[in-house]
Structure formats: structure tokens, C-alpha cells
Structure 1
Amino acid sequence: MHYDVRRLAAGEWRELRGITLEALRDSPNAFSSSYADTAARPDDHWRQRAAHQATARESATFTAGDEDGARVGIAGVEPLADVPDHVHIHSVYVAPAHRGAGGPAAELVHAVIRHAREHTTVGALTLGVHEDNERAQAFYRRLGFEPTGKAVPYVLRPAERILVLGYPGFRA
């Protein structure tokens, strides 16, 4: 199947909201916010988020659409205020029916890596993955990410950890 992977457009706030809420329902341990908190955000939040992700230089969200135009995947990238010289991949999600070989996950991650290379001047690219998500860890390793040896508490359950993976092939 062919997927249309492209940067989110400013007016696609409903699509951003929809795929984000789908991701939180399907994979609640993969993200740092709860479905309930995210669903309660007003439309204005989504409008502003989509506009920012569509136009900001260093931050961007990419979506994958199937042959019918439905948004079936998402991935974002942006700097973290607390970590200088660094950009972080976040919100990587693909609907279950589109996972595995031939799905858009690798294309989405490659799109955010390209964006970071072309639009930032930072020296490091990382992402976080829940310690229990072995499938995601294996996927990221296949794409070239490596453990950094760092872990941070999972914000929704601080006794659990988020492993930080780095992309050694990254250079801005």
C-alpha cells in the first residue's frame, strides 16, 4: 500500500486531534499524557498546535494518509527547552491495521529526521520509549537508534521508566 507522508497543514487541527486521541486510546503507555486530559483540551488548543507544527522552523508534525486519505499515522519533532543542542522525536503512532512491514512507521520517522537535519542546528536527536515496549525498541534499533544509557521517569507512572534512544547518524 502507498502512504502519503507529509507535514501537517495548519488547518488540519481536527485530523491532529483525531489521530492523537486514537493513539492515546490504542497505546496509552506510549505517550506522556492521558486520553482524558488530552480529550478535554479545547478546539483552540488544537488549532494553535496544528498551526505551530505546520509553520515552525524547528518543530513539525508529519502524518501518514492511506489510499482513502484517512490519517493513519503521526510523528513529531521539536526541541526540548530543558535540553540544549538537542531535538526530540515524539508522538510516533501508526494505527494497528497499518503496522509492520510495508506500513508508514519508518517513513514517518525518516520524515522527522530529515526535517530536523534541514531545519535545526542542534547536535543531537533523541526519542523516548517506554521500558516495556519491546516492539517499539526493536523498531527504533532497526532504524539506527541506540540506547543512550539514560532513562527518565514515565510522567504518568513515575515508578516506570522511559528509555532515551539517540540517533548517532544525526547531524544538523
Structure 2
Amino acid sequence: MDYVIRPVRADEWQLVKELRLAALQDPAAPVAFLETYEQGLEQSDELWRERTVGGSEAGDGGVRQFVAEAPDGSWAGSVTVLIERPDGEVRFGTPADVHQAHVVGVFVRPEARGGGVAEELFRAGMDWAWSLGEPRIARVRLYVHENNPRASAFYRRIGFVPTGETVPMQGDPTARELEYAVARP
């Protein structure tokens, strides 16, 4: 694998925006993301700057976005990890009853799939979550649409297991998001 896996830098908002817009054009986007391409296009540059700073090492430590950077500087994929605390904001799903990390925004460009990029992005995100100080993160969770078998199979392969928790899909209450989690090793 010829990619460097690293956190985004605070000044890389244009690359963050470009990768997110590419993700929102992926055929799986309707069941993988809670945002449409059109909504992403409407976001202001200031929002993209804030989002990037928040996910960088310069942010407050509650969010970290990791990217896979190719030798030519292009980005092949990304994952974002949100820290959820029992006394904190509920970002998605049920309120946290433990200190946990929540993986969102998983995307790898089609030409980079199958080569270990996604696994390395997850490893970096989870290693970061496990490395945080007290109170320690007890588990890492994510949600996957019930009609996204490719993603479900990948998450199972890297150690995530279904918890039995489901929530309605935002914008389509007839569809379900399934929670997967992995406990602290």
C-alpha cells in the first residue's frame, strides 16, 4: 500500500470538501451518507474550513478525520471518528451510556478499494480513539444502512459485530440503520 494514513491538517479544507463531494456522488451514497451531493455543494467555504479544523489535530480533540494520501498528494479515502460521552451531545442513534467513539463518513475511492486502504483508515481511527486518556473509550461504534451489504460485510471482517440496536434512517423512517460495535481490546 503506497498511502500515508494521517489526520487532516487544519488548512486542507479544499481537499476535505473535494473528497466529501466525491463520496456523495458514489453509487452507495444514498444509503451510506446522511447528506446529498446537492446539500454538500450548498455548504459555505467557511463551513468546510470549520469542519476541517474540527477534525484536525488543531481541533478540540472530540473529532478526528483521517485520510489516505497517495504519493502524488491525492486522497484515496477518509474516515472520521467522533468521541461521544454519556453527558455529551447525541450525534446519531441512542445516547451514549459509555465513553465511546463513533465512526462516520467512511469513503474510499473506487480505484483504491480492495487494497487495504479502508482497513488502514479504520486502524488509525481506532488507535486514536483507544489512545485517548481518561475516561477511556469503552467501544467504537458505527451505523450502517440495512441495504448496504458491502459495508456490513467489511465491518464484520474487521471485527465489528451487530449490537441489535437499530434506528430509523434519517429522511426515510421506513428504512433502518444497524449499529455495529467493537469493544476495547
Length-normalised TM-score, structure 1: 0.92
User: Which of 155-164 and 140-149 deviates more?
Assistant: 155-164
The CA deviation at 1:64 is 0.6
Worse overlay, 151-160 or 108-117: 151-160
- Equivalent of 1:90 in 95, 104, 122: 104
Equivalent residue, structure 1, for 2:65: 61
Q: Given the alignment of the two structures, is residue 125 of structure 1 paired with residue 127 of structure 2, yes or no?
A: no
CA contact (8 A) 1:33 1:156 kept: no
Give yes or no for contact 1:58–1:116 (8 Å, CA) kept in 2: no
Q: Which residue identity lines up with residue 112 of structure 2 in the other structure?
A: H
Pairing of 1:125-144 with structure 2 (within 5 A): 125-144=140-159
Specify the alignment match of 2:40 in structure 1. 38
The CA distance in 2 between the partners of 1:16 and 1:116, in whole Å, is 21
Give the aligned residue type for 1:63: V
Aligned match for 1:151, one of 166, 170, 176: 166
Letter matched to residue 50 of structure 1: T
**Structure 1: 4+ residue segments shifted above 6 A:** none
CA contact (8 A) 1:59 1:79 kept: yes
Q: Which amino acid aligns with 1:158?
A: P
1:17 maps to amino acid: K
Structure 2: tracts of 5 or more residues without a match: none
The answer as to whether partners of 1:154 and 1:161 remain within 8 angstroms in 2 is yes
Which residue of structure 2 aligns with residue 108 of structure 1? Answer: 121
Consecutive unaligned residues of structure 1, counting only runs of 5 or more, are none
Moved more, 41-50 or 23-32: 23-32
Which amino acid is the alignment partner of residue 89 of structure 1? V
Q: In the alignment, what sits opposite 2:78?
A: 74
Amino acid at match of 1:156: G
C-alpha distance in structure 1 between counterparts of 2:154 and 2:168, whole Å: 22
What CA RMSD, in Å, does the superposition of the two structures yield over aligned residues? 1.4
Matched, 1:51 2:64: no
Q: Measure, in 1, the Cα distance between the counterparts of 2:11 and 2:52.
A: 7
Identify the residue that residue 24 of structure 1 maps to in structure 2. Answer: 24
TM-score, L = length of structure 2: 0.86
Shift of 1:8: 0.3
Q: Distance in 2 between matches of 1:134 and 1:20?
A: 21
Q: How far 1:123 moved relative to its partner? A: 1.8
